């Protein structure tokens, strides 16, 4: 096998791995959507007394929005090969994501002290979302490191984009949930 054939074979393998990563991300988002959709349907159809979302969750919503906006800025800078700016935006997005997850946990105390039927839907939703956010934060940390090591750039960005897509999905789920509640 010639050197050119070896290189072409490796490029083809890399292309298949990138496509597999895209499909795995989409599959994970679809399966996670089913979990959250089920909880939201139960939430909508269960007869609940009037209540309001904990104020801390309303504050957390702003943090997840800021985090996603900063991640979008990081994506744009990766596309433009402005790696230092991408590093800063992604780092700030990660920071606001950490603040969001902290507020989500702090809000559990208020949930646990609330009406039983209200708590039985909102707390599991928040807990499952927190587990997904924890995975998202771990993935964001890995992207943050890869950007710092210049392993993410305009020609090698698919892993980062898959992670960012998952992060935006988590923000959208949170916004949908807060909107329904």
pLDDT attached to residue 88:
97
pLDDT digits (tens, 9 = 90+) for 89-143: 999 999 999 999 999 999 888 888 876 666 777 788 888 889 999 999 999 999 9
pLDDT classification of 38: cutoffs 50, 70, 90: confident
pTM of the predicted model, to two decimals?
A: 0.78
The CATH class of the 3-180 domain is: mainly alpha
pLDDT digits (tens, 9 = 90+) for 46-83: 655 566 678 898 899 999 999 999 999 999 999 999 99
pLDDT attached to residue 8:
67
Domain limits of the chain? 3-180
Q: What is the 3-state secondary structure (H, E, C) of the chain?
A: CCHHHHHHHHHHHHHHHHHHHHHHHHHHHHHHHHHHHHHHHHHHHCCCCCCCCCHHHHHHHHHHHHHHHHHHHHHHHHHCCCHHHHHHHHHHHHHHHHHHHHHHHHHHHHHHCCCHHHHHHHHHHHHHHHHHHHHHHHHHHHHHHHHHCCCCECCECHHHHHHHHHHHHHHHHHHHHHHHC
């Amino acid at each position: 096998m010639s050197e050119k054939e070896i290189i072409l074979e490796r490029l083809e393998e890399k292309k298949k791995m990138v496509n597999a990563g895209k499909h795995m991300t989409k599959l994970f988002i679809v399966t996670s959507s089913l979990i959250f959709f089920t909880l939201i349907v139960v939430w909508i159809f269960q007869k609940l007394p009037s209540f309001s979302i904990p104020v801390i969750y309303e504050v957390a919503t702003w943090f997840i929005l800021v985090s996603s906006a900063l991640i979008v800025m990081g994506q744009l800078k990766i596309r433009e090969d402005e790696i230092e700016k991408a590093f800063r935006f992604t780092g700030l997005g990660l920071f606001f994501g950490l603040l969001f997850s902290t507020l989500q946990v702090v809000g559990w105390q208020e949930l646990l002290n609330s009406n039983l039927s209200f708590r039985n839907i909102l707390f599991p939703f928040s807990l499952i979302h927190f587990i997904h956010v924890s995975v998202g934060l771990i993935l964001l940390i890995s992207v943050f490191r890869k950007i710092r090591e210049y392993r993410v750039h305009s020609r090698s960005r698919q892993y980062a984009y898959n992670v960012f897509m998952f992060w935006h999905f988590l923000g959208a789920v949170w916004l949908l949930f807060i909107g329904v509640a």
